[in-house]
Each structure stands twice: as C-alpha cells, then as structure tokens.
Amino acid sequence: MSVLNSAQYISTHAKNVTIDEEGVHKTAATLLKEHNKGKFSLTGWSQNELHPKIKNDNTVNWIFIVDTLNFSFWAEEENLYTVTFRGKRYTGYWSLCAAIRRAEDEGIPITCLLYTSDAADEEDSVDL
C-alpha cells in the first residue's frame, strides 16, 4: 500500500485521531507562499548546523528517525528537553537533532534502521 493510501486508510478508520482538512490546506498554502518568497528551501535546510549536509540514503534515514521521534520533544515552555552539543544548548526539535548528531559523533549508528530496530534490549539502548 502506498504512503498516500495508507494515510487515507488510517485517517478514515482512526477513532482517536482526526485531520483538520481546512488546517492542512491553510498550512500548505502558507508553506507554498513562504517557499515562493525564498524563505526556505532544501538548500537552506541543509545549511543548518544540525541537519545533514550530504544528501544520500543516510540523510533519508536521518529524516525518518527525526520525524519518528519528534513528537516526543513537544513540551510546555517551562519543561523543554535540553541537549548540550559541542558546547551549545538546544531545546525542542533542535535538542533531538543535537542528540542524533552527538550519537553519530560518538560512533553510534543511530540512523541505521537495522541498529535501531535491534536496540530494544536495555543494554543495547542509547542514552541520548
């Protein structure tokens, strides 16, 4: 089943999750408008110090891991998760990116899907 078909199935059958169609359209229009103004692009994305610089399979895996875990880093302003990486403190989404970069720097193959799928045992888990 394709991603689009899977999303359609889930949104149609979900009992506890709904999609605000109007919100989706507004968000898409805003993103397109900002993109057309040159406010963001793939080039701009990769220029961020915490995002991957090389566009390859590892980058796709990196995006998958970040998108999978990102919800865990939503918090109220007073309870922000913080990660220090290379002497700089990051919170929220950026703390997740910093934690992944730190793991990579330490030789932990955090973006390797086989590694993360086998990291279920506590002794194999990673403290980011």
The predicted pLDDT at position 119 comes to 66
128 has pLDDT over 90: no
120 has pLDDT over 70: no
pLDDT in tens, 37-66: 987 777 777 888 999 988 888 889 999 889
- Number of Cβ within 10 Å of residue 88's Cβ equals 11
Average pLDDT rounded to a whole number, residues 5-30:
85
For residue 63 the two structure tokens come to 């995006």
The predicted pLDDT at position 23 comes to 92
Judge contact between 68 and 49, C-beta under 8 A: no
Q: How far apart are CA 83 and CA 128, in angstroms?
A: 8
The predicted pLDDT at position 122 comes to 45
pLDDT in tens, 75-113: 676 677 889 999 999 988 899 999 999 999 999 998 887
Tell me how far CA of residue 100 lies from CA of 35, 96, 104, 128, in angstroms.
27, 6, 6, 8
Judge contact between 95 and 81, C-beta under 8 A: yes
CA 103 to chain CA centroid, Å, is 15
pTM (2 decimals)?
A: 0.64
If DSSP codes are grouped into helix, strand and coil, which group holds residue 70?
helix
